[in-house]
Amino acid sequence: MSSIYEQLSGTDIPASAIHLNVPMSGYTTFRVGGPADCLIDISSLSCLQSAVTFARQHALPLTIIGNGSNLLVRDGGIRGIVIRISSSYNNVESPSDTTICCESGISLSSLAQYALSHGLAGFEPLSGIPGSLGGAIIMNAGAYGAEIGQLVKNVTVLSLDNETIHTYNVDELAFGYRTSRLMHESCIILSAALTLHPDAPGQIRTRMQDFASQRRQKQPLDYPSAGSTFKRPKGAFAAKLIDDCGLRGFRTGDAQVSEKHCGFVINRGNATASDILSLMQHIQEIVQTRTGYLLEPEVRILGEDACD
């Protein structure tokens, strides 16, 4: 297997960016997941294009990840190449009074700091989401009544079908609750332009601090997780349904329904992906039987089961 990947040394991808047979638990906030055959840390467009071309030439499957904060990777890991859009793929500029253009690896917290330093408001509710801009756009991440799709002006992607670069305007992106058109397309988000509005930095900072303190109060940030495990079903709240079904604190191995926030499955330390998946299935069965609601996972599930 490694012989194919040894040929990556003939490309312009730096050796330090190539990781063979590397556990995905080191690249996800759940801290679980078996090995990727090959993970490439992307910090420039030319490396990204080389990795995509290499995968196509060798007919290798490609998986794209950002900060891994909405991922559950199974214990058998991921075959082929994992392209990780790293947080150093993060050029950002403000070409007008209200626009920010940034590369997709930038973390939402860094973007929030940039907006604050330029006196631009609108990003504060999203500032505590621990993802990259690319991951947030794919998921249409949101918090406290705001969604990133409301701020997007346009998004530039690299198509994996023909390796061309294309810019979509917001009206072509079909943003909805935790979904977007790009979730169903074979592409990598390269960058986006966001529209914000001017405000006093002091006010922006206060709002950011307020949202951060709400997160600390309500979310189990001391344990690995991928945030809300399930989407909000129409007309109900996943956390309340789970709580009402008596599942607060319920455990499968080291995977547990958080005592602090029933919408989060947490890793108590040594959970496997299989523990988490079993717990998720149990939650879905109990909640559906008792309430009629079928909870749909918000976390993206990737990779293969482990061989016994």
Ligand X SMILES: Cc1cc2nc3c(=O)[nH]c(=O)nc-3n(C[C@H](O)[C@H](O)[C@H](O)COP(=O)(O)OP(=O)(O)OC[C@H]3O[C@@H](n4cnc5c(N)ncnc54)[C@H](O)[C@@H]3O)c2cc1C
The residues of the shown chain that bind ligand X, judged by CB under 6 A, are: 29, 64-71, 85, 104, 129-132, 134-136, 138-139, 141-143, 188-189, 219, 221, 225-227, 300
Quick check: 126 and 211 in contact, CB under 8 A? no
Q: At what angle do helices 201-218 and 108-117 cross, to 10 degrees?
A: 150
- The distance between the two most distant Cα atoms of the chain, rounded to a whole number of Å, is 58
- Please say which residue, 173 or 188, places its beta carbon nearer to ligand X: 188
Q: Shortest gap between Cβ of 145 and ligand X (angstroms)? A: 11
Let me know if 259 is a catalytic residue: no
* E-state strands within 104-151: 120-121, 142-143, 146-147
Rounded Cα distance between 176 and 140, Å, is 7
Extract the tokens encoding 127: 């500032």
- Please say which residue, 181 or 300, places its beta carbon nearer to ligand X: 300
In the set 178, 180, 191, 258, the catalytic residue is 178
Let me know if 6 is a catalytic residue: no
For strands 71-73 and 62-65, give the pairing. unpaired
Q: Shortest gap between Cβ of 198 and ligand X (angstroms)? A: 25
**192 has which bridge partners?**
102, 155
What is the distance, to the nearest Å, from the Cα of residue 69 to the centroid of all Cα atoms in its chain?
A: 5
Q: Shortest gap between Cβ of 228 and ligand X (angstroms)? A: 6
- Residue 246 has a CB neighbour count (10 Å cut-off) of 10
Q: Shortest gap between Cβ of 77 and ligand X (angstroms)? A: 15
In the set 50, 69, 191, 228, the catalytic residue is 228
- Please say which residue, 34 or 68, places its beta carbon nearer to ligand X: 68
- Please say which residue, 10 or 106, places its beta carbon nearer to ligand X: 106
Let me know if 298 is a catalytic residue: yes
List residues with catalytic annotation: 178, 228, 298
